[in-house]
Amino acid sequence: MKYLILVYDGMADRKIEELGGRTPMEAAHKPTMDKLAQVSECGTVSNVPQGMVPESDTANLAILSYDPREYSKGRSPLEAVSMGIDMKSDETAYRCNLVAVSDEGEYEQKIMLDHSADEITTAEADLLIQALNEKLANEERTLYTGISYRHCLIWKNGNDKFPFARPHDIIGKKIEKYLPQGEEGEVFYRFMRESHDILNHHPVNEARRARGLLPANSAWLWSPGKKPSLPSFKEKWGLDASVISAVDLIKGIGLCAKMESVDVEGATGNIHTNFKGKADAAIDAFRRGKDLVYVHVEAPDECGHRAEIENKVLSIEKIDAEILTPVLAYLESTGEDFRIACLPDHPTPVAIRTHSMEPVPFMIYRSDRKEKGVSTLTEDTAEACQNYLPDGTVLMEKVIRG
């Protein structure tokens, strides 16, 4: 038996007027998903426990059967693992976004324009991270370059409980009341303010402005955590597994669970990612004997954060055509039974440009057992199945043993 878990990050949404009152899932042409959904178990699932923040670390941990209430230590340490950083027990990791803030006024009066600085390239970001390290790194703290706008700060004896604001939650808002506050927040506030002084007129950003792009003119810290530890996925389920993602967070979860992490050239985490490369990597993993392949695609989530309605629809269509369709064809060609689960980890509604807590639709296709499914998989049709899983950690059990 082979297993494909295909996660469309942030795919679930709300009705959008520009789409004729439909969601992106309803508007997207996704013939392969819908063909499978007609004979699959369908329903809705809550991957983020009540009281926790609807982030990708909590949601993907749950999908992989790890209770976020026990294992979630923040996204940053998971990203650090993926980046090859050997964290010590007294170190704290922080996600460091390179963000775009407006030019007017003092730092506190600026407006958060984009949490991704127009999805800055990794090459440009690396030069900015180097500049920050030259001025702000010391014996206690060091920055590490990640991918695009996503980077990591390691801080010895850093506060791993500080309640930072998430930058993608405050797009279009003045940053003043979202900056680190109080005596404990002073050191983080000073780091972020000084980062703006260093980055605002850096040659990389002046060149971006000249090309009509937003500058990556401030660091924004959030989601701290200590070194993580997860039980082995293989020991837990008896399956040899691979994870395929452009996002350090998901790679980190896989590595902590002792899964193989496969890098795909051209995988970016946005609409311009190498969809075909991810399909090829999944097929190759199965050919090499992997039992389960976890393919995570960030593109719908980024489109939701950036309020790119047409691109969110397009990302769903490209996942269907360029990942699900060829991987399904390969699995069918082997003559071996297989199962495919398709779902988002959490919603990222275009209207609010951040994550929300609504349950998400899922489908589980079993090649050896046809079931009464739905004509097309959407938020509404999945809910109408009245098959609600309040705890996302049970989904893997249903896929493997259900």
Note whether 213 and 272 are same-domain residues.
no
Tabulate helix, strand, coil % of the chain (nearest 5). 40, 20, 40
At 324, which helix (H) or strand (E)?
A: none
Residue 38 resides in a domain: yes
Residue 83 resides in a domain: no
**Beta-strand pair 91-101/218-225:** antiparallel
pLDDT, residue 73, reads 80
Note whether 138 and 284 are same-domain residues.
no
Across the strands, what pairs with 390? none
Note whether 62 and 96 are same-domain residues.
no
Note whether 187 and 329 are same-domain residues.
no
On the 0-12 / 13-18 / 19+ scale of CB atoms within 10 A, 115 is buried
Note whether 236 and 368 are same-domain residues.
yes
Are 184 and 190 in contact by the 8 Å Cβ rule? The answer is no
In terms of residue numbers, what domain contains 387? 2-73+229-400
Select from 225, 241, 257 the last residue of a domain.
225
b (16+ CB within 10 A) / e for 154-182: bbeebbbebebbbbbbbbeebbeebbbee
Rounded to an integer, what distance in angstroms lies between the CA atom of residue 342 and that of residue 4? 8
Note whether 290 and 389 are same-domain residues.
yes
Mean of pLDDT values over 247-256: 93
Residue 80 resides in a domain: no
Rounded to an integer, what distance in angstroms lies between the CA atom of residue 357 and that of residue 162? 22
Take residue 71 and report the two structure tokens written for it: 């294992």
Note whether 29 and 135 are same-domain residues.
no
* pLDDT reading at 122 higher than 90: yes
- What is the side-by-side strand order in the sheet with 388-389? 260-262, 241-244, 292-297, 2-8, 338-343, 360-366, 41-45, 388-389
pLDDT, residue 245, reads 97
Q: What is the model's pTM?
A: 0.83
Largest CA distance in the chain: 65
Select from 191, 209, 225 the last residue of a domain.
225
Take residue 358 and report the two structure tokens written for it: 């609504």
Note whether 247 and 375 are same-domain residues.
yes
- What are the tens digits of pLDDT across the range 297-350? 999 999 999 999 999 999 999 999 999 999 999 999 999 999 999 999 999 999
Are 248 and 296 in contact by the 8 Å Cβ rule? The answer is no
Residue 81 resides in a domain: no
Q: Which residue has the tokens 């990050």?
A: 9
Select from 209, 225, 241 the last residue of a domain.
225
Are 340 and 36 in contact by the 8 Å Cβ rule? The answer is yes
Are 377 and 34 in contact by the 8 Å Cβ rule? The answer is yes
- What are the tens digits of pLDDT across the range 27-52? 999 999 999 999 999 999 999 999 99
- Structural domains of the chain, count: 2
**Beta-strand pair 241-244/112-114:** unpaired
Phi, psi angles (nearest 5°) of residue 2: -110, 155
Rounded to an integer, what distance in angstroms lies between the CA atom of residue 302 and that of residue 61? 19
Note whether 97 and 17 are same-domain residues.
no
| Arithmetic mean of pLDDT over the chain | 96
Rounded to an integer, what distance in angstroms lies between the CA atom of residue 154 and that of residue 160? 11
Note whether 247 and 264 are same-domain residues.
yes
Across the strands, what pairs with 243? 261, 294
b (16+ CB within 10 A) / e for 19-34: beebbbbbbbebebbb
CATH number at residue 339: 3.40.720.10
* pLDDT reading at 227 higher than 90: no
Note whether 233 and 213 are same-domain residues.
no
Residue 356 resides in a domain: yes
pLDDT, residue 229, reads 85
Note whether 172 and 242 are same-domain residues.
no
* pLDDT reading at 72 higher than 90: no
Residue 288 resides in a domain: yes
Take residue 117 and report the two structure tokens written for it: 């600085």
